[in-house]
Amino acid sequence: MAFPEDLLYSREHTWARIDGNLAVVGLTDYAQEKLGELLDIELPQVDDPADQDEPFGTLETAKGVLELIAPVSGDVVRVNDDLIDDIGLIGSDPYDTGWMIVIEMKDFSELENLLNAREYENYIEEEEELA
C-alpha cells in the first residue's frame, strides 16, 4: 500500500497535510479499510482546541466506535461538513475530499513526532506482524 509522500502520519492512523501553520487532518486509507463500513462521524466545532495524541472526534463503524486522534495541537479552524452527509468520502477519497478538520498549529516541534510515508508504511508492517 502506497501512502502520499506529501503527508505526515501519526501512529494512530491520522494524516496531516501541512500548509504554513495549517494542518489538514484525515484518516489514512489503511485505517478506514481496517474499520470496515463507516456509519457515522462526530467532529469538533470551529474554534474547538485540538491536542496532539488526544481525541478530536469519533467514527462509528460496523466494528464499533473509534476515537479520532489529533496528529498536532492547535485550534480547529475548518470542519468538513460534507462528511456528515456523505461519510463514504472517507473511504472513496481519504486524502482529498475525505479530510476531516483543519487545525491552526501552535507548536511546529510536534511535527517531529509524526512519520513520513516510508516510516508509516514500516510502522504498519510491524503492527501487522504483532497482530
Condensed to tens digits (0 to 9), the pLDDT of residues 72-81 reads: 999 999 999 9
What are the Cα distances from residue 82, in Å, to 45, 63, 79? 14, 23, 9
Condensed to tens digits (0 to 9), the pLDDT of residues 50-92 reads: 999 999 999 999 889 999 999 999 999 999 999 999 999 999 9
Mean pLDDT, residues 29-49: 94
pLDDT at 131: 76
Condensed to tens digits (0 to 9), the pLDDT of residues 103-125 reads: 999 999 999 999 999 999 999 99
CA–CA gap between residue 86 and residue 108 (Å, rounded)? 32
